Amino acid sequence: MRLVKSNEDSFVLLDDFISNNIHNYSNKRNFDFGPKDRSNVSQMSPYISHRILTEYDVVKRVLQKKPYRNVEKYIQEVFWRLYWRGWLESRPRVWDDFMGDLKFLEKNKLYYEAIEGLTDIECFNYWVKELRENGFLHNHTRMWFASIWIFTLNLPWQLGAEFFLKYLTDADSASNTLSWRWVAGIQTKGKNYLAKNWNIEKFTNGKFSPAILNENALPVSDSRNYTFSKINYSGLETESETIVMFENELNTDFLDNSNYKHAYFCLLSNDERQVEISQKNMIYKESVVDNLTKEVSCNMRKINGSQLISLVQSNDNVHLVYPGAGDNLDFINKNLMPNTNSFIRRKEDIFCYQFSNKGFFNFKKNIPRIISELNLSK
């Protein structure tokens, strides 16, 4: 997978997909043709996860070139990420419990065989290698992978979600965590996803021989319940000359028409994270941040977590672009304990998250309203 670093280059890739392949997306999106042929999917996820392009950028660009009725399925898939983020924002304890569980789960011999691709399941071993080498798996394959991990290998879903966070270039705290919970059958209680040989054979064009899979497993049992809580959107009370952005909010539109004199990109080291990321992913993040510091017009620097602490402690008021649930917010809450008025949030996110209080069907039926209210079709 060829990765680009800039907003402009990301749009070039998106435009190519819109012109040449989006017309087949609905019919072919579930097929995994392998890493050498991703023409049936857009591969925009790394840029959306880092918000080099926002979901709104992608949807608006698509609707500039195609009528909604012809690209409805693709737009729904883009909005899934926003839905997951909004859902987790109103139930943050789900992330906290996930992180807490990881501290007590045993990594046994079977776990290490799984992450090295040394199981008896050919397709699973292949996908482990692909993930570790390329930082990407097709979405359908991620579902098969998670199901085999949980129900055939009998490994905790939390350890699988951690493995994905480490190696996926497009890893997103909300989408990743909640997708693994969904496969396990605890996101939608009692409804799990089971990988089946016929499905893998069909959607990989017969690439893999049938494996011994547990195709009749019951959902994972978890008695914890998470109630909806209203998100605090307190506004900024004071002006600031200093803004800090994080690796999952790298769209520089926050700097447009602003009074910021000092801007920083904060990239946490692995020592400052709860979940370590691969060296390849760290290098990619560093390259994106380094590229952006050269592109913006204001004085911009890259800093790590320790430098962020010093910056905030030595300044009366620093605006932080809200990073959402995950390692960045955990680091802020642990080391800075800021008033929520220090956070800057996207008004588009605030509007969309109101539809994440229930299941995705409720969000999906409001997509036309979102497009209209946010002027994404103009």
pLDDT at 48: 97
- Quote the CA–CA distance of 12 and 118 in Å, as a whole number: 39
Least confident of 114-118, 147-151, 154-158, 245-249: 245-249
The answer as to whether 360 is a domain residue is: yes
Which of 136-140, 167-171, 339-343 is predicted with the least confidence, judged by mean pLDDT?
Answer: 339-343
Beta bridge partners of 246: 266
The mean predicted confidence, pLDDT, of the chain is 94
Any domain includes 236: no
Q: How far apart are CA 347 and CA 341, in angstroms?
A: 15
Residue in the structure block whose two tokens are 């941040």? 289
CATH of the domain at 366: 1.25.40
Flag whether 309 is in a domain. yes
In this structure, are 108 and 194 located in the same domain? yes
User: Is 235 a residue whose pLDDT tops 70?
Assistant: no
Q: How many domains does the chain have?
A: 3
- What is the pLDDT averaged over residues 205-213? 91
- What's the pLDDT at 255? 83
Asked whether residue 208 is assigned to any structural domain, the reply reads: no
pLDDT in tens, 165-198: 999 999 999 999 999 999 999 999 999 999 999 9
pLDDT at 30 over 60: yes
CATH number of residue 186's parent domain: 1.10.579.10
Task: For residues 294 and 361, state if they share a domain.
Answer: no
Domain membership flag for residue 232: no
Q: In this structure, is residue 37 part of a structural domain?
A: yes
What's the whole-number mean pLDDT along residues 1-29? 94
For residue 350, CA distances in Å to 205, 277, 327, 368 come to 42, 29, 21, 16
Q: What is the pLDDT of residue 240?
A: 85
67/143 same-domain check: no
The pLDDT of residue 225 is 94
Q: Which residues constitute the domain of residue 188?
A: 102-203
- Name the percent of the chain lying above pLDDT 70: 98
pLDDT-wise least confident of 216-230, 272-286, 291-305, 318-332: 291-305
Q: Is the dihedral of CA 105, 110, 113, 117 positive or negative?
A: negative
234 belongs to a structural domain: no
Q: What is the mean pLDDT of residues 270-281?
A: 97
Tell me the two tokens of residue 273: 């994270």
Residues 138 and 181 in one domain: yes
> What CA–CA distance (Å, rounded) separates 88 from 58?
22
What pLDDT digit, counting tens, does each position of 139-169 carry? 999 999 999 999 999 999 999 999 999 999 9
Specify whether 176 is located in the same domain as 128: yes
75 falls in which pLDDT band (50, 70, 90)?
Answer: very high
The C-alpha atoms of residue 117 and residue 123 are separated, in whole angstroms, by: 9
From the list 94, 86, 83, 90, the residue with the least C-alpha distance to 228 is 90
CATH number at residue 288: 3.40.50.620
Q: Which helix or strand (DSSP H or E) is residue 301 part of?
A: strand 299-303
Residue whose C-alpha is closest to residue 3's, from 270, 247, 288? 288
Tokens of 125: 């071993």
Q: Which amino acid is at 180?
A: W
Confidence of residue 311 (pLDDT cuts 50, 70, 90): very high
Cβ density class 109-143: b for 16+ within 10 Å, e for less: eebeebbebebebebbbbbbebbbeebbbbebbbb
Beta bridge partners of 321: 344
Claim to verify: residue 319 and residue 287 sit in the same structural domain: yes
- Looking at the structure, do residues 340 and 358 belong to the same domain, yes or no? no
